[in-house]
Amino acid sequence: MDWLHSLNPTIQDVLSAIGRAILALIPIFVPVPFMIWYERRLLSWMQDRIGPNRTGNITFSSTSSAVPGFLKGKKIKLFGLAQSMADGLKLFLKEDIMPDKTDRFLFILAPCIALFVALTLGCTIPFGGDKRFSPVADVNIGMLYILAISSLGAYSTVLAGYSSNNKYSLLGGLRASAQLISYELAMGVSLGSMALITGSLKMTDVVTNQSGPLYGMIGFLHNWNILTPMGFVSAAIFAVCMIAETNRPPFDLPEAENELVAGYHTEYSTKRWGLFMMAEYMAMLTFSMVFATVFLGGYQWPIRWDVFDFLENNFLIGIVTMLVKGALGLTAYIWIRATFPRLRYDQLMNLGWKFLLPLAVVNLVISATWIFAKASYGSLAALITVGICYAVLAFIWAMVRHRAKKVEPQYRSRSVNMVPATRRTVEMVSNKEVTP
């Protein structure tokens, strides 16, 4: 490694950044086939049906002399894991079809943008305490970087819908753009609350801020943001918004196969369709890791014991910890898909604009109140103040809902006036002899 240290410092920094980028891409790109298999198996278990469980089973011959004795007649079950690999191989070997009268440049560019967003979204996520290996870029605007990169996902869906020269694809692209814009606002404000509490936009600072005692008083637990009142509300808002950002059920209106066939990627096939699917699964895992970094302590374990310090600072163990937390987020994605039906478009817009965004703004104000009260009167007084604020918020919400229930019935009681059908008469026309 002496030759590396002998290089120009700028070249050393570039090579180091490339190495960190490769180390960051491996835990995001490699698990994609396993995520597809996991979703199929988990959905089949939740829906009480048989999932992929036959493809790829390996059976050794019982008569061949080339097979060792202990393997003869043995059958190794892969539980359908090879199905995902076979699907990926099939996608990249099938004939590529591009419809006529499409904007070829934008048609090809759209899935590339989707994949670019999924791969670069996690560049500011720390996978361990050793900063030599992660994050790729420990910039001061880590949270803003995540919001900026995630917003680029709207371009892939809009361009895919526009360039396909298909009305269903265009409608899917328009839906996706409106959905992403609506939910990015609430997502940004929810992260703003965490930036206020942390005092920094840097993701490593967010993780470090969660390493202290819970509420500054409970020594054996980490001060994870989700365990605080403001963090819990922000986490709930962020979780809903990240599902909407990835166009997953029940927010999959841009695809909506029952009315839009497949939405923005109706005209896509083989490799380009596969890029969209890969980008979706990678974005699910990356967003789950972002959630874990901001609200679940990142690579930290929940217990504050000195014996865990070495484990948390180890890069490989940090990756395993982040992948486990990402797998929990992926499980939540799949569980929600199996549980909730697709929202109507007006329900989707109402949830984003009338509920999540106002709640995120109020939570931001309460977070600022927490900071002032803690600095002035201490942690206990700040907790009491925050509890009073949320109690007032819950009372106001209950009063609004109570008033809405009194007003809504007159709008809910829809009546249909049956108009008596007019009697239809048929005039009989006498048959006349037709002469040639």
145-202 pLDDT, tens digit per residue, is 999 898 888 888 888 888 888 888 888 888 888 888 889 899 999 999 999 988 888 9
| CB burial readout 155-193, b (16+ within 10 A) else e | bbbbbbbbbbebebbbbbbbbbbbbbebbbbbbbbbbbb
Residue 387 has pLDDT above 90, yes or no: no
CA–CA gap between residue 31 and residue 413 (Å, rounded): 51
The number of angstroms, rounded, from the C-alpha of 383 to the middle of its chain's C-alpha atoms is: 31
Would 121 be classed as within a structural domain? yes
Four-residue CA torsion sign, 409, 411, 414, 415: positive
Judged by average pLDDT, the poorest of 146-160, 255-269, 361-375 is 255-269
CA–CA gap between residue 145 and residue 158 (Å, rounded): 21
Q: How confident is the model at residue 138 (pLDDT cuts 50, 70, 90)?
A: confident
To the nearest whole number, what is the mean pLDDT of the chain?
82
Q: What percent of the chain clears pLDDT 90, i.e. is strictly above it? A: 12
CA–CA gap between residue 330 and residue 154 (Å, rounded): 22
Would 85 be classed as within a structural domain? no
Would 153 be classed as within a structural domain? yes
Contact present, 111 and 268 (Cβ < 8 Å): yes
pLDDT for 119 equals 86
Contact present, 273 and 91 (Cβ < 8 Å): yes
Mean pLDDT of 333-347: 88
Residue 411 has pLDDT above 80, yes or no: no
DSSP state of 73: T
Phi, psi of 20, rounded to the nearest 5 degrees? -65, -35
Taking Cα atoms as reference points, which of 73, 55, 54 lies closest to residue 64? 73
Mean pLDDT of 354-359: 90
Would 283 be classed as within a structural domain? yes
**Bridge partner list, 13:** none
Taking Cα atoms as reference points, which of 247, 94, 267 lies closest to residue 169? 267
Q: How confident is the model at residue 408 (pLDDT cuts 50, 70, 90)?
A: low
Contact present, 157 and 173 (Cβ < 8 Å): yes
Q: How confident is the model at residue 235 (pLDDT cuts 50, 70, 90)?
A: very high
202-229 pLDDT, tens digit each:
998 898 888 877 766 777 778 888 988 8
Q: How confident is the model at residue 295 (pLDDT cuts 50, 70, 90)?
A: very high
Its pTM surpasses 0.75 = yes
pLDDT for 256 equals 78
Residue 131 has pLDDT above 90, yes or no: no
Strongest mean pLDDT among 29-38, 90-99, 213-222: 29-38
Would 294 be classed as within a structural domain? yes
Would 64 be classed as within a structural domain? no
**Amino acid, single-letter form, for residue 209:** N
Burial label for 213, CB within 10 Å (0-12, 13-18, 19+), is middle
Task: Output the DSSP codes for 85-131.
Answer: HHHHHHHHHSPP---TT--HHHHHHHHHHHHHHHHHTTTT---SS-T
Identify the residue whose tokens are 């835990």.
Answer: 27
Q: How confident is the model at residue 288 (pLDDT cuts 50, 70, 90)?
A: very high
Longest dimension (CA), the chain: 110
Would 77 be classed as within a structural domain? no
Question: What pairing do the DSSP bridges indicate for beta strands 75-76 and 218-222?
Answer: unpaired
Would 1 be classed as within a structural domain? no
Higher pLDDT, 200 or 23: 200
Tokens representing residue 296 in the block: 């679940």
pLDDT for 311 equals 65
Find the DSSP H helices in 152-202. Answer: 153-163, 167-198
Alpha-carbon torsion, ordered 24, 28, 30, 32, to 10 deg: -170
**Amino acid, single-letter form, for residue 140:** N
Taking Cα atoms as reference points, which of 352, 350, 240 lies closest to residue 287? 240
Q: How confident is the model at residue 292 (pLDDT cuts 50, 70, 90)?
A: very high
CA–CA gap between residue 175 and residue 147 (Å, rounded): 20
**Count of domains observed in the chain:** 1
Q: Which residues, at least 6 apart from 210, have a Cβ–Cβ distance to it below 8 Å? A: 222, 223, 224, 225, 297, 298, 300
Domain limits for position 340: 94-397
Tokens representing residue 348 in the block: 């989707």
Higher pLDDT, 24 or 116: 116
Tokens representing residue 258 in the block: 């029952």
Judged by average pLDDT, the poorest of 101-105, 306-310, 333-337 is 306-310
Tokens representing residue 431 in the block: 């048959």
Higher pLDDT, 306 or 385: 385
Q: Using alpha carbons only, what angle is made at residue 357 by residues 235 and 255, rounded to the nearest 5 degrees? A: 85
Tokens representing residue 281 in the block: 């699964």
